[in-house]
C-alpha cells in the first residue's frame, strides 16, 4: 500500500527547503520505485494565516489519522511575535508533538569529512563523526507535576519543578533506543545521574532489563557530567546515546555544534509504532527567507531518516545520504557551509542532489 507523507512547509525558509526535499522524494518515486503520496498542509504562522490557528484542525487530522509520516520545514517569524502565546507558531509544533505522542527524539550529529573544517574542534577529533542522541521528549522535568513558583511563610518565593519518570515511560524510550542501536553500530550508552537521583536509579535498572531483549546491543552507562566532557574530548567513542528529556536537550545541542553546520542536521520524533515527524534541527531563518540562499540538506537528510525509521526503506535512505556526500565531494556549498565564500542557491543544491541520485546505479 502506498505510504502517505504529510508535507508541512511552515514559515520562513521552510517552504524553500521543503520544495527541495519534495524534489528528492519525487525522484525516488519516479526512478527508484518509492510508493508514496504527498499531501501538503499549513502549520505554524502559515496555519494561523490560513485558518486562524497554528495547528489547524485539518492539518492535525491529516498528521494524526491518515499520514504515515510527517515532513516539517520550520515554524516562526517576527510577524507572529505579538500574537497571544496560544496562537504563536511554536504552539503548532508542540501541539503536533503531543497529539502524535512523539516521545522519542532522534538527533544525529554527523560530520561529513568534507566539512571537517566547519567544526570548532580539531578535524581528527570530529572527522567522520556519526552519533545519534535519543532524547525522551514528552516526560521528565519539563512536564512533571507539581511545578510553579510559591511563596514561603517567610515571604520569600520558591520555584520548583518535578523530575519524574514512570517505568513505562523509561521502558518505551529504552526500546526505541535499542531499536535505533540495532539499525546502527549496536552500541548504546545510557546517560543518567544515578549517583544522585533516584529517578536515574530506576532509569538504569529499566535500561538493563529491556537490554535483555537486545543481546546484540552492547549497553554502557555514563553520568551526564562525564558525558558532556566525553562529547567534546573524544566524541567518536559514541554510537547511540539515550537520555532523559533535559539531559538530551543539552547534550544534543552540544553534539550538533561539534559538526559546526546547523544547515546539515536532520531530526526525527517518533511514536511507539515508529510513526514520526521529521524536520531539520534549525529554525525558520527569517533573516534569509525568500532569498533562495538556505541550505536544504538538513531537510533532505530528514527525508532519509523518514525512509529509514518510518517507511522501512533503508536502502533508499542510504541512496540519499550517498547523493548528499557526492555533492559535497563535488565542492557544492550553500553560504552557511561555504567557508566565507559565496555558495550555490537552495534550488541549485536541491537539483544537484537529485542529479547525484539519478546518476546512481539502479
Ligand atoms: P534559526 O535556526 O532559524 O537561525 C539561526 C541562524 O542560522 C540564522 O542566521 C539563519 O540564517 C541560519 N540558518 C538556519 N537554518 C539555515 C539553513 N538551512 N541554511 C542556512 N542558514 C541557516 O534560529 P533563530 O534565528 O533563533 O530563530 C528564527 C525563528 O525560527 C524563530 O521564530 C524561532 O522561534 C524559530 N525556530 C523554529 C524551530 C522549528 O521550527 N523547529 C526551531 C528553532 C527556532
pLDDT confidence bin for 117, thresholds 50/70/90: confident
What is the C-alpha to C-alpha distance for residues 327 and 300, in angstroms, rounded to an integer? 13
pLDDT per position as a tens digit, 231-284: 999 999 999 999 999 999 999 989 988 887 789 999 999 999 989 999 999 999
Q: Give yes or no: 225 in active site.
A: yes
Atom 40 of ligand 1, residue of closest alpha carbon: 74
Which grid cell is 76? 516562526
Average of pLDDT values for 321-334?
A: 95
Atom 7 of ligand 1, residue of closest alpha carbon: 285
DSSP single-letter state for residue 345: -
Domains and CATH numbers, the chain: 1-109+265-362 (3.40.718.10), 130-258 (3.40.718.10)
- Catalytic residue (one of 23, 193, 244, 275): 193
User: What pTM, to 2 d.p., does this model score?
Assistant: 0.92
- How many angstroms is it from 197 CA to the middle of ligand 1? 35
Is the distance from the beta carbon of residue 92 to the nearest atom of ligand 1 less than 6 Å?
no
Q: Which of 284, 291, 301, 333 to mutate to test the pocket of ligand 1 (most atoms within 8 A of CB)?
A: 284
The whole-number pLDDT of residue 1 equals 79
Query: Is residue 273 a contact partner of residue 99, using CB atoms and an 8 Å limit?
Result: no
What's CA 344's distance to the chain center, in Å? 25
SS3 302: helix
SS3 269: strand
Measured from the Cα of 286, ligand 1's closest atom is 28
Backbone torsions φ then ψ of 6, nearest 5 degrees: -80, 130
Query: Is residue 15 a contact partner of residue 9, using CB atoms and an 8 Å limit?
Result: yes
Query: Is residue 115 a contact partner of residue 123, using CB atoms and an 8 Å limit?
Result: no
Q: Give yes or no: 253 in active site.
A: yes
Which residue in this structure is represented by grid cell 515571604? 155
pLDDT confidence bin for 116, thresholds 50/70/90: confident
pLDDT per position as a tens digit, 129-162: 999 999 999 999 998 999 999 999 999 999 999 9
User: Which whole-number Å values give the CA distances from 263 to 57, 173, 256, in the listed order?
Assistant: 30, 27, 11
Query: Is residue 105 a contact partner of residue 134, using CB atoms and an 8 Å limit?
Result: yes
Is the distance from the beta carbon of residue 177 to the nearest atom of ligand 1 less than 6 Å?
no
Which grid cell is 40? 501538503
Amino acid at each position: 500500500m502506498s505510504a502517505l507523507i504529510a508535507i508541512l512547509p511552515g514559515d520562513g525558509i521552510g517552504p524553500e527547503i521543503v520544495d527541495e526535499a519534495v524534489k528528492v522524494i519525487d525522484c525516488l518515486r519516479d526512478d527508484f520505485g518509492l510508493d508514496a503520496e504527498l499531501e501538503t498542509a499549513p502549520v505554524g504562522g502559515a496555519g494561523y494565516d490560513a485558518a486562524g490557528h497554528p495547528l489547524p484542525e485539518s492539518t492535525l487530522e491529516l498528521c494524526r489519522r491518515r499520514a504515515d509520516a510527517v515532513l516539517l520545514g520550520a515554524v516562526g517569524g517576527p510577524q507572529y511575535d505579538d500574537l497571544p502565546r496560544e496562537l504563536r507558531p511554536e504552539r503548532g509544533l508542540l501541539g503536533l508533538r503531543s497529539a502524535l505522542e512523539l516521545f522519542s527524539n532522534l538527533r544525529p550529529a554527523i560530520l561529513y569529512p568534507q566539512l571537517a573544517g566547519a567544526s570548532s574542534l580539531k578535524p581528527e577529533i570530529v572527522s567522520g563523526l556519526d552519533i545519534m542522541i535519543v532524547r525522551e521528549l514528552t516526560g521528565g522535568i519539563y512536564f512533571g507535576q507539581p511545578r510553579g513558583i510559591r511563596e514561603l511563610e517567610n515571604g520569600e518565593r520558591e520555584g520548583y519543578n518535578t523530575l519524574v519518570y514512570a517505568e513505562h515511560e523509561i521502558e518505551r524510550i529504552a526500546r526505541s533506543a535499542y531499536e535505533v542501536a540495532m539499525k546502527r553500530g549496536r552500541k548504546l550508552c545510557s546517560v543518567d545521574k544515578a549517583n544522585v537521583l533516584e529517578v536515574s536509579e530506576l532509569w538504569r535498572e529499566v535500561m538493563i532489563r529491556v537490554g535483555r531483549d537486545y543481546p546484540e546491543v552492547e549497553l554502557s552507562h555514563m553520568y551526564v557530567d562525564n558525558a558532556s566532557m566525553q562529547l567534546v574530548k573524544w566524541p567518536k567513542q559514541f554510537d547511540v546515546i539515550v537520555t532523559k528529556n533535559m539531559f538530551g536537550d543539552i547534550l544534543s545541542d552540544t553534539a550538533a555544534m561539534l559538526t559546526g553546520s546547523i544547515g546539515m542536521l536532520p531530526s526525527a520524533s517518533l511514536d511507539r509504532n515508529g510513526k514520526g515527524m521529521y524536520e531539520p534541527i534549525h529554525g525558520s531563518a527569517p533573516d534569509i527567507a525568500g532569498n533562495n540562499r538556505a541550505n536544504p540538506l538538513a531537510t533532505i537528510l530528514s527525508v532519509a531518516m523518514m525512509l529509514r525509521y518510518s517507511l522501512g526503506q533503508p536502502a533508499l535512505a542510504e541512496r540519499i545520504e550517498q547523493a548528499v556526500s557526492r555533492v559535497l565531494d563535488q565542492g557544492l556549498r550553500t553560504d552557511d557551509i561555504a567557508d566565507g565564500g559565496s555558495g550555490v542557491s537552495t534550488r541549485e543544491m536541491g537539483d544537484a542532489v537529485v542529479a547525484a541520485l539519478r546518476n546512481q546505479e539502479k
